[in-house]
């Protein structure tokens, strides 16, 4: 299969299970790491060919800690994807970022455990991850109206939500967003030399940020659905703002390195 590396990828989060009309084609792939969350649909947005994959499956079969992250990222690269937008639902740790806010994080803190987060179990491969998100893709989103630029997203193991003490602790560290799927997706993209930027939709203020009953899943999904149309539109606009040719060098950590496996 010959690729020009120009295909963009979109990985939809909770409530974000489809992206194209009926004219899109579905592609089922297997990988050395099993099957991805769902068949990948490929369509066109503006001048870009785009591959869409629902992170949690077409019917939300996968919880955050069971998403087949390695298979998902491998399958997208095998299709020819080299740049990925990762829309996701997040809780806010900042009272100034209320439900409906759309944020492009610039930093990540991993608080997950036990997730398979590398393709390199041998060979002594260490990727640069100081700045986890692609600056070029981030710029394509942050240049759009009503988008909040920056903030640290802490990724928790889930599937439970945080205790009040945990969310107060996170907020006290200066983190702005809390999420359950942003890791290891981001680092796997870096290992596969794919540009990646998260686009976060705030669905709630986290448990320790305001008094009340805390975060409930039913409320999170309802808030996501209320904002799904403008959120999808933002992703469309980000794609249309992305350059046709990828000139990013930030997300190429393996230059001069001999890898123990061949990337797809």
Alpha carbon separation from 149 to 39, 140, 227, 232 (Å, rounded): 32, 11, 19, 18
Residue 251 makes CB contacts below 8 A (sequence gap 6+) with: 134, 189, 190, 193, 194, 195, 196
Query: What CA–CA distance (Å, rounded) separates 257 from 126?
Result: 10
Q: Please check if 162 is assigned to a binding site.
A: no
Q: Please check if 180 is assigned to a binding site.
A: yes
Catalytically annotated residue among 30, 121, 206, 219: 206
Q: Please check if 118 is assigned to a binding site.
A: no
Residue 234 makes CB contacts below 8 A (sequence gap 6+) with: 102, 141, 144, 147, 199
Q: Please indicate whether residue 128 is annotated as part of the active site.
A: no
Residue 7 bridge partners (DSSP): 81
Q: Please check if 181 is assigned to a binding site.
A: yes
**Looking only at Cα atoms, what is the longest distance across the chain?**
55
Q: Please check if 3 is assigned to a binding site.
A: no
Query: What CA–CA distance (Å, rounded) separates 74 from 256?
Result: 22
Query: What CA–CA distance (Å, rounded) separates 165 from 73?
Result: 34
Catalytically annotated residue among 30, 47, 204, 219: 204
Q: Please check if 160 is assigned to a binding site.
A: no
Q: Please check if 205 is assigned to a binding site.
A: yes
Q: Please indicate whether residue 206 is annotated as part of the active site.
A: yes
Question: Using omega within 30 degrees of 0 as the cis cutoff, is the peptide bond preceding 184 cis?
Answer: yes
Q: Please check if 60 is assigned to a binding site.
A: no
Query: What CA–CA distance (Å, rounded) separates 55 from 95?
Result: 28
Smallest Cα–Cα separation from 206: which of 229, 235, 172, 240? 172
List the structure tokens of 110. 């991993």
Which residue positions form the known binding site? 14, 55-56, 180-181, 204-206
Active site residues: 204, 206
Which residue positions form the known binding site for substrate? 180, 204-206
Which residue positions form the known binding site for phosphate? 14, 55-56, 181
């Amino acid at each position: 299969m010959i690729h020009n590396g120009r295909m963009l990828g979109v990985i939809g989060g909770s409530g974000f299970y489809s992206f194209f009309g009926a004219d899109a084609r579905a592609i089922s792939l297997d990988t050395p790491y099993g099957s991805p969350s769902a068949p990948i649909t490929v369509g066109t947005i503006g001048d870009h060919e785009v591959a869409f994959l629902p992170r949690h499956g077409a019917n939300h079969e996968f919880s955050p800690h069971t998403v087949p992250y390695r298979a998902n990222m491998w399958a997208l690269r095998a299709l020819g994807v080299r740049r990925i937008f990762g829309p996701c639902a997040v809780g806010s740790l900042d009272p100034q970022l209320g439900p409906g806010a759309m944020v492009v994080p610039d930093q990540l803190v991993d608080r997950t455990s036990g997730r398979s987060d590398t393709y390199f179990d041998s060979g002594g491969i260490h990727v640069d991850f100081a700045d986890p998100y692609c600056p070029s893709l981030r710029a394509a989103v942050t240049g759009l109206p009503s988008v909040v630029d920056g903030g640290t997203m802490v990724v928790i193991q889930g599937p439970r939500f945080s205790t009040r003490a945990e969310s107060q602790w996170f907020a006290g560290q200066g983190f702005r967003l809390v999420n359950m799927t942003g890791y290891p997706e981001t680092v796997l993209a870096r290992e596969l030399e794919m540009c990646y930027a998260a686009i976060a939709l705030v669905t709630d203020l986290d448990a320790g940020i305001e008094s009340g009953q805390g975060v409930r899943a039913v409320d999170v999904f309802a808030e996501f659905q209320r904002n799904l149309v403008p959120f999808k539109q933002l992703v469309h606009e980000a794609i249309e703002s992305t350059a046709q040719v990828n000139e990013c060098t930030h997300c190429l950590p393996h230059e001069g390195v001999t890898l123990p496996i061949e990337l797809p």
